[in-house]
Structure 1
């Protein structure tokens, strides 16, 4: 694991710091390291303007005293607001080294929120909440150190109402889950990391990485690049979108299996009509996608059973997720990827008897129960693997919130699976292509413009 990619729970972060302390690094030394690193980001943003540092009583407040001292040493005008005195030994030492006198209130250009960080489990008191909101309103640029105050580090949920938003969040030591989860992620602005030397943490999640996508081999042909079968259904538009996206996702050959030939099929897409079981018997098939446009009637259930029985590597999307049951997976050995949004996730958890709260726990529980890679979609998409793998994605453009873009994603993931990627890698690669194409497609995108931007997205992966 690339250590800068680690995504930690509050408990994992504390344990990682304890390892450093046990090896001889003091809490004060860690605080100095973290505070200096954060001060560099504040220094760049402030650009000579006035800074107010809001310090809490714990070690997050101690980081704030280090930041205030470093900025003052560089000649920046800095004020500290400290509604509560430092309560830990390291924070007290940092306060003494700062050596200034806190003010009761302040206004300025930049607010640095060091009130509370990782590990907070309760809402701010009304007095502290009002102070934070007042200071936020008095500073046009706001920076959160480690996490915005009042955020649950593990869930990304706000612990109270009226929390301000920030233009920059500087994570200390390692990324926390809340940095990449909604609703917290929507209020953090840009995110940057200050490392403090922690080692790899067992069981940690990680950020999705830019994939290494390359041109086909010099001796490649359509079958060596992967034959993907897309099982169509009663709504042909969705399966057509998925198939067209898959044709741009790296697979060498895409077939749409339809009960009858739909209208608007591009000339370069092969459509096979007739029984799906006959078409899926082709041993050259490298992967299958089912669910896009499937609907939920008797015919849809039969087409899903046929796709499952083929025992090819399989991606299930949309209505297939509402029809899937544990019994349907009995005897399957081939890789499986599921792509639920929140409503589909709830249906799957009921079907697979997964009792869990929160997106991460549900995705991991479902991945284990179904022995599948689960792409839990949304503004905070995560990937969970059957062996406990957990991958967080950076936010994509909100213009993706339009019908049909999920079919495009399913087609891309299935295409990468057909191309030979393992299910977890196929999910990561498909999501990267999807997000990159969306950024390139610009505002007010539609599935067609998203698909059209995929070649340019590929260029960025080279």
Structure 2
């Protein structure tokens, strides 16, 4: 489930300082970072000529190490700097390079460009002329790499502090930073590669990775595999879509509670009319309400009834809108919430900080697991765990895909009994189903792609 730690700039500096206090030589750490990055650049570009752009700090020092090691492999390497090296390790790395250092503002381009100007400590954008020159050099290259972070972004929230090019690869040093996964900065990075610097890192935040799933055992049956109940409402099609996703998402049985569910629906999905008996089943592993629920008095009554059952819950769409304002306190503890941007603001207001900060604050406020959806999706728990998913198909920006995610989250909750794991699994499988569906799909295409996505993780 975890695909590498995510650290803020301050957390990364603290981790490095702890390593130095424990006896790690700062220059040795720079050599390790540069060597690991050079390996990635070598595999991508081999002997293509390279221009390494070095800044005045330790990120620039990494660049000098990379330049020296690529030169030792026979690459024609040139270094262009933006000022003199200011830290002891960077000065040592520049001396070890020993070759000429050009002025970045006048250096001609190369087939490969490596941005080692500024790392996680950047708090303001590049000057207009420097930003324009960086973009021009990147545009002239066929292969581009950014070391740790592209220059010109805020490491902690993904804001672009100045214009920046698109990089083919970004090599994260030690840990991912929030900007690797949060937009708009994430949209300027192609492949993400993380190198392990061999130092201890805190583990509260992680990138979501491919889950490890298990096939049902020989003694499994439909109820032990997880019973999902989905409550429909004014627009039954949305709940039907969620039911299809839950049925294909690994649940043993799916019940759709609806008085009116027109259209085609898998025969294995049980339809049941509204009534108290629909919720009085102790075998329910996950209860989903919200897709197509409506916002009238009948919808409110159904939400109130569902919230009082004590079943593990997934709350989506209209249920979130009905809970906005002074009803946030009515959210069942441990539920999974799946708001998009508008629903999130209606529920929790305009919280400060990055998307990670806001999701974490919301989870603590309501005592639930929050999936803050979008091009970047953040999962947070009240106890401080955070996971981030990014890079899913932008074709997911179509009607009904949120209903599919909600149904899938309910299925994984019923299967695992773990809301945080269920949320992370659902996000990854949702993205993989979209990848398999290709381009211009509709939400109805996604449930059919889920079995293959699950099979690939068994």
> Aligning the two structures, in what range does the TM-score lie when normalised by the shorter sequence?
over 0.9
Contact 2:228 2:286 in 1 (8 A): yes
Deviations, residues 296-339 of structure 1 (Å, cap 9, x unaligned)? 22221111111111121100011111111576565876530000
- CA 1:330 to 1:91, structure 2 compared with 1: closer, same or farther past 3 Å? closer
Instruction: Describe the SS at the equivalent of 2:211.
Output: coil
Shifted more, 147-156 versus 103-112: the winner is 103-112
> Which residue in 2 is equivalent to 1:61?
60
Q: Distance in 1 between matches of 2:151 and 2:228?
A: 48
Following superposition, the deviation at residue 136 of structure 1 comes to 1.5
Deviations, residues 71-119 of structure 1 (Å, cap 9, x unaligned)? 1122210111112111111111111110111123121100000111112
Contact 1:58 1:86 in 2 (8 A): yes
Deviations, residues 160-191 of structure 1 (Å, cap 9, x unaligned)? 1x211100111112111111111111111101
Q: Distance in 1 between matches of 2:11 and 2:407?
A: 36
> Which residue in 2 is equivalent to 1:255?
255
Following superposition, the deviation at residue 395 of structure 1 comes to 1.8
Check if 1:316 corresponds to 2:315: yes
> Which residue in 1 is equivalent to 2:148?
146
Q: Distance in 2 between matches of 1:315 and 1:326?
A: 19
Check if 1:454 corresponds to 2:414: no
Instruction: Describe the SS at the equivalent of 1:234.
Output: coil
- CA 1:345 to 1:330, structure 2 compared with 1: closer, same or farther past 3 Å? closer
Q: Distance in 1 between matches of 2:251 and 2:328?
A: 25
Check if 1:445 corresponds to 2:441: yes
> Which residue in 1 is equivalent to 2:121?
119
Check if 1:201 corresponds to 2:202: yes
Equivalent residues in 2 for 1:20-419, closer than 5 Å: 20-104=19-103, 105-160=107-162, 162-201=163-202, 204-275=204-275, 277-325=276-324, 328=327, 335-350=334-349, 355-419=351-415
Contact 2:329 2:366 in 1 (8 A): no
TM-score scaled by structure 2? 0.95
Following superposition, the deviation at residue 131 of structure 1 comes to 2.1
Instruction: Describe the SS at the equivalent of 1:281.
Output: coil
Contact 1:412 1:430 in 2 (8 A): yes
Deviations, residues 137-164 of structure 1 (Å, cap 9, x unaligned)? 221221100000001100011111x211
Deviations, residues 357-401 of structure 1 (Å, cap 9, x unaligned)? 331121111101111110111111111011011011242222222
Instruction: Describe the SS at the equivalent of 2:416.
Output: coil
Contact 1:239 1:407 in 2 (8 A): yes
Q: Distance in 2 between matches of 1:87 and 1:334?
A: 51
Q: Distance in 1 between matches of 2:329 and 2:82?
A: 60
Q: Distance in 2 between matches of 1:14 and 1:448?
A: 46
Q: How many residues align?
A: 455
Instruction: Describe the SS at the equivalent of 1:251.
Output: coil
Q: Distance in 1 between matches of 2:358 and 2:15?
A: 26
TM-score scaled by structure 1? 0.94
Contact 1:312 1:334 in 2 (8 A): no
Instruction: Describe the SS at the equivalent of 2:86.
Output: coil
Q: Distance in 1 between matches of 2:244 and 2:332?
A: 28
Q: Distance in 2 between matches of 1:278 and 1:120?
A: 59
> Which residue in 2 is equivalent to 1:423?
419
Q: Distance in 2 between matches of 1:193 and 1:265?
A: 44
Q: Which runs of 5+ in 2 are unaligned?
A: none
Following superposition, the deviation at residue 64 of structure 1 comes to 0.5
Q: Distance in 2 between matches of 1:378 and 1:221?
A: 35
Deviations, residues 380-436 of structure 1 (Å, cap 9, x unaligned)? 111101101101124222222211111111001101111233100111111122122
Q: Distance in 2 between matches of 1:74 and 1:331?
A: 63
Q: Distance in 2 between matches of 1:212 and 1:192?
A: 21
Following superposition, the deviation at residue 233 of structure 1 comes to 1.0
Contact 1:308 1:329 in 2 (8 A): no
